[in-house]
């Protein structure tokens, strides 16, 4: 099957052809035909499956006919980054259609957004908060919206946007097409879908587990050694582009600063950054200027970089759904990816939960030539950053910055957690090291 089977407008087909798309993905095969028929759709698909194009292409097709210069399609997104990602997909796929898209989100001056709205746009991609602000000011008219898309609905719930979403829904035409997409489908998302979708077509691609092109491994480690272990792994592993997840904004910033002082090409992405800094970080990561991006869950929602080779969970995520979202950032576009997770003693029970969802054991790894026996520093007496610098010959103190380093290397990174090597004694409190089967996650080829 190819995109011609959808009978899209020639201008849209030209945009598809320019992007090099040849065959639609499973979510596109299932979702595009009913959307083209103006059916409501509830879609469940993991990150990296081609979900955005699954709703953008039929929206472009619908808007090719009919009036221009007013808002006919509204796409709701949880974060600024995801809004920009969707806007870029519209721009590329619709480059020959003369249809205009505008992004609406907070954290930036609203005047340029207002100006673009007044100049006429058929598609608005918005985050709920700023959209409500502009609606209250009478700047944007949604009275003629024909299509509503709620993208990554589960994350919008996690971020507390449900009241805003209901507020917006009250101001939209009752007669409209509604599309809801989510990587996971918890009960609250299903309840919303039942209340706003009319006789929807349900589309589901895969289960709510990480995609099969990702290989998983865990590294048991004490909290105070995480930074040293991360840098050591990056030093001796062939990694093209690495996304590191932390639990808090402060930790993302501090970790990136420590890594930069140690010579890594690194930047951070977290919610407190102004929009221009966030965009600079994303653009630098995409272009290869930065090889490592340290991010929080919320900030990373809009990251669309198909070349990410590794995702490293510096901190264990809070839920299996969050694990799914994180891991979905690698193994995209038919590429294989690797996901490493640092596990401390309090994380053990959650590891078993993830394994239960995956239906298999995660490979346990102990890094060769890494000293797991270094005790935690007394308060105010040092940190894992200084421990890492002491282990590297010729390193400088942490007030100096080393020359930028490329983390690619052909040396072996680790061996399975058989208990051999340094740190065996300190890792004995992880019971899964004793006699645990060493099984790697499945790898298989899938569409982009």
Boundary of a domain, candidates 205, 224, 253: 205
Q: Which residues make Cβ contacts (< 8 Å) with residue 257, sequence separation at least 6? A: none
Residue 424 pLDDT > 50:
no
Q: 177 with 44, same domain?
A: yes
Q: 91 with 69, same domain?
A: yes
- d(C-alpha 445, C-alpha 335), whole Å: 8
Residue range 406-426: mean pLDDT, rounded: 40
Residue range 266-287: mean pLDDT, rounded: 84
| 448 in any annotated domain | no
Residue range 217-232: mean pLDDT, rounded: 94
Residue 212, pLDDT score: 61
| 250 in any annotated domain | yes
Residue 421, pLDDT score: 35
DSSP three-state, residue 332 = coil
Residue 397 pLDDT > 80:
no
The overall pTM is greater than 0.75: no
| 438 in any annotated domain | no
Residue 270 pLDDT > 70:
yes
- pLDDT: is 19 or 332 the higher one? 19
Boundary of a domain, candidates 153, 171, 205: 205
The answer to whether 205 and 49 have CB atoms below 8 angstroms apart is yes
Residue 211, pLDDT score: 56
Convert the pLDDT of each residue in 235-260 to its tens digit.
888 888 899 999 998 999 999 999 99
Q: 196 with 255, same domain?
A: no
Convert the pLDDT of each residue in 352-381 to its tens digit.
888 887 777 889 999 988 999 999 887 655
Residue range 10-24: mean pLDDT, rounded: 93
Q: Which two tokens stand for residue 262?
A: 């140690």
Q: How many helices (H) and strands (E) does the chain have?
A: 15, 15
Q: 230 with 341, same domain?
A: yes
Q: How far is CA 150 from CA 40, 217, 250, in A?
A: 12, 33, 30
Residue 207, pLDDT score: 53
Strand order in the sheet with 414-416: 266-269, 292-295, 242-245, 310-313, 337-343, 214-220, 363-367, 414-416
Residue 146 pLDDT > 50:
yes
- d(C-alpha 136, C-alpha 132), whole Å: 6
Q: 41 with 187, same domain?
A: yes
Convert the pLDDT of each residue in 180-193 to its tens digit.
998 778 788 888 89
Q: 142 with 177, same domain?
A: yes
Residue 429, pLDDT score: 39
Give the pLDDT band (50/70/90) at residue 404. Answer: low
Nearest Cα to Cα of residue 300 among 249, 258, 335, 343: 249
Residue range 200-224: mean pLDDT, rounded: 80
Q: 167 with 224, same domain?
A: no
Boundary of a domain, candidates 187, 205, 223: 205
Residue 440 pLDDT > 90:
no
| 442 in any annotated domain | no
Q: Range of 324's domain?
A: 214-433
Residue 386, pLDDT score: 41
Residue 189, pLDDT score: 86
The answer to whether 442 and 427 have CB atoms below 8 angstroms apart is no
- What single string gives the DSSP state of each residue in 270-302? -TTS-HHHHHHHHHHHHHTS-SEEEE-TTGGGG
Highest mean pLDDT among 158-172, 286-300, 367-381: 158-172
- Helix (H) or strand (E) run with residue 220 in it: strand 214-220
Convert the pLDDT of each residue in 74-133 to its tens digit.
999 998 888 998 999 999 999 999 999 999 999 889 999 999 999 999 999 999 999 999
Residue 206, pLDDT score: 62
Give the pLDDT band (50/70/90) at residue 302. Answer: low
We report the CATH number of the domain holding residue 154 as 3.40.50.300
Q: 176 with 43, same domain?
A: yes
Q: 178 with 96, same domain?
A: yes
| 177 in any annotated domain | yes
- d(C-alpha 115, C-alpha 113), whole Å: 5
Q: Helices 51-63 and 26-36: crossing angle, nearest 10°?
A: 30
Q: 238 with 328, same domain?
A: yes
- d(C-alpha 115, C-alpha 139), whole Å: 10
Convert the pLDDT of each residue in 64-75 to its tens digit.
999 999 999 999
| 139 in any annotated domain | yes
Q: 234 with 296, same domain?
A: yes
Give the count of domains, the chain: 2
Q: 421 with 330, same domain?
A: yes
| 343 in any annotated domain | yes
Residue 313, pLDDT score: 95
User: If you average pLDDT over every residue of the chain, what do you get?
Assistant: 81
Residues 195-234: b if buried by 16+ CB within 10 A, e if exposed: ebbeebbebebbebbbbebbbbbbbbbbebbbbbbbbbbb
| 30 in any annotated domain | yes
Residue 444, pLDDT score: 33
Residue 335, pLDDT score: 62
């Amino acid at each position: 099957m190819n995109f011609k089977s959808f009978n899209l407008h020639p201008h849209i087909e030209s945009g598809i052809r320019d992007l090099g798309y040849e065959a639609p993905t499973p979510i596109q095969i299932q979702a595009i035909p009913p959307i083209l028929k103006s059916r409501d759709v509830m879609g469940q698909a993991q990150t990296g499956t081609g979900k955005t194009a699954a709703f953008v292409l039929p929206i472009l097709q619908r808007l090719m006919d009919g009036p221009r210069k007013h808002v006919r399609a509204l796409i709701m997104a949880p974060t600024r980054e995801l809004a920009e990602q969707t806007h870029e997909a519209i721009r590329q796929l619709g480059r020959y259609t003369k249809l205009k898209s505008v992004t609406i989100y907070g954290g930036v001056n609203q005047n340029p957004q207002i100006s673009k709205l007044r100049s006429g746009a058929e598609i608005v991609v918005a985050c709920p908060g700023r959209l409500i602000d502009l609606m209250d000011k009478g700047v944007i008219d949604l009275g003629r919206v024909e299509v509503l898309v709620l993208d990554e609905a589960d994350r919008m719930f996690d971020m507390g946007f449900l009241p805003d979403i209901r507020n917006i829904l009250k101001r939209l035409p009752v007669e409209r097409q509604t599309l809801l997409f989510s990587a996971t489908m918890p009960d609250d998302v299903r309840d919303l879908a039942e209340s706003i979708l009319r006789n929807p077509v349900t589309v589901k691609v895969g289960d709510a587990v990480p995609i099969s092109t990702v290989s998983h491994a865990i590294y048991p480690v004490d909290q105070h050694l995480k930074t040293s272990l991360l840098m050591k792994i990056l030093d001796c592993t062939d990694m093209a582009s690495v996304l590191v997840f932390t639990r808090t904004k402060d930790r993302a910033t501090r970790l990136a600063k420590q890594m930069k002082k140690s010579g890594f090409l690194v930047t951070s992405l977290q919610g407190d950054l102004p929009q221009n800094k966030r965009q600079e970080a994303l653009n630098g990561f995409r272009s290869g200027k930065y090889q490592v991006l340290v991010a929080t869950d919320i900030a990373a929602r809009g990251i669309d970089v198909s070349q990410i080779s590794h995702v490293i969970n510096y901190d264990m995520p809070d839920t299996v759904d969050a694990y799914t979202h994180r891991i979905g950032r690698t193994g995209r576009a038919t590429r294989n990816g690797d996901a490493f997770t640092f596990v401390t003693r309090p994380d053990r029970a959650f590891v078993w939960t993830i394994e239960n969802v995956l239906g298999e054991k995660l490979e346990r790894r102990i890094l060769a030539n890494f000293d797991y026996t270094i005790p935690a520093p007394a308060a105010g007496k040092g940190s894992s950053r200084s421990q890492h610098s002491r282990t590297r010959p010729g390193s400088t103190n942490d007030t100096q910055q080393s020359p930028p380093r490329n983390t690619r290397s052909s040396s072996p990174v680790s061996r399975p957690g058989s208990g051999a090597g340094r740190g065996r004694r300190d890792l004995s409190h992880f019971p899964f090291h004793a006699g645990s089967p060493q099984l790697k996650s499945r790898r298989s080829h899938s569409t982009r």
